[in-house]
Amino acid sequence: MNCKQIDEDSEVVKDVVEDQEESQQNSILNIGSVTTSGKYLIHCLTIIGQIEGHFILPPQNKTTKYEHVIPALIAIEQSSEIKGLVILLNTVGGDVEAGLAISELISGMKKPTVSIVLGGGHSIGVPLAVAADKSFIVPSATMTIHPVRMSGLVLGVPQTLSYFDRMQDRIAKFVEKNSDIKPERFKELMMQTGELVMDVGTVLDGENAVKEGLIDDLGSLSDAIEYLNDSIASSENEIEKNNKIQLDKKSSCDCCCCKK
């Protein structure tokens, strides 16, 4: 191989690396997510500001758009290269149905998932935090649990209150299913008076969120990555074990189909 060929190959590699870096930068700018390679290839998804759902929020608001997050989650689950998902949360809440939709998708993923609450995981951010296989919260973060509220025109009829109750039940059931908090305790925290000046509910710091069973553990990024790597390794070992069992069954089978 001559010097000219070496130079051409180096330029090709350089172009590929630059394209990958540009793609990652665009991904961070557009939807706040990036795929990183370390021990395993994992995807980092940020959920920040307000969860934007059926209505577009004002341009000065920091938002997480569910029409960006939902296709990203599907792509992550389908990818043969991405092995796990880290979710970074610093959200004030937002659209209830959009937040629940994202939460349900995360909880239904087969790939290992881990969440970290940084700063805040308020309102509909609570289901988003507990949706992952494992949840962490930094000691300085807080989580607000409060009843469902609605802005705009509301009809003062019994059906409206019934609708609010059913929506709160949907949130409560999801949180109870995906965390260790007791159902009656979660509703007690949701309806507590005397703590918030202009609202009903409770604010939990990191330590108390873990103590209540809402979040699994106190921890930060290194703890989340360590858990994810261990979970991915365990998952891959299980797949290899199952594949070996299938091969052993096939090799020991004497039927004509397997012999072919």
Can you read off the two tokens belonging to residue 78? 């389908």
In angstroms, the CA 62 to CA 55 distance is: 14
- Alpha carbon 209 to its chain centroid, in Å, reads 18
Active site residue 10: no
In angstroms, the CA 132 to CA 126 distance is: 11
Active-site hit among 43, 103, 122, 146: 146
User: What would the DSSP string read from start to end of 181-192?
Assistant: --HHHHHHHHT-
Q: DSSP secondary-structure letter at 238?
A: H
Task: Report which secondary-structure segment, H or E, holds 145.
Answer: strand 142-145
In angstroms, the CA 70 to CA 101 distance is: 8
* pTM for the predicted model, two decimal places: 0.81
Closest CA to 144 of 166, 127, 159, 165: 127
- Set out the domains of the chain in order of their start, with CATH numbers: 20-259 (3.90.226.10)
Render each residue's pLDDT in the chain as its tens digit; 260 residues.
555 555 555 554 445 445 555 555 555 455 567 888 788 999 999 999 999 998 888 888 999 999 999 999 999 999 999 999 999 999 999 999 999 999 999 999 999 999 999 999 999 999 999 999 999 999 999 999 999 877 767 777 888 778 888 889 999 999 999 999 998 999 999 999 988 878 899 999 999 999 999 999 999 999 999 999 999 999 888 888 888 887 777 776 666 555 55
Active-site hit among 115, 123, 135, 231: 123
Active site residue 43: no
Q: DSSP secondary-structure letter at 131?
A: T
Q: Which residue has the tokens 């540009």?
A: 22
In angstroms, the CA 252 to CA 121 distance is: 53
Cβ atoms of 183 and 168 within 8 Å: the answer is no
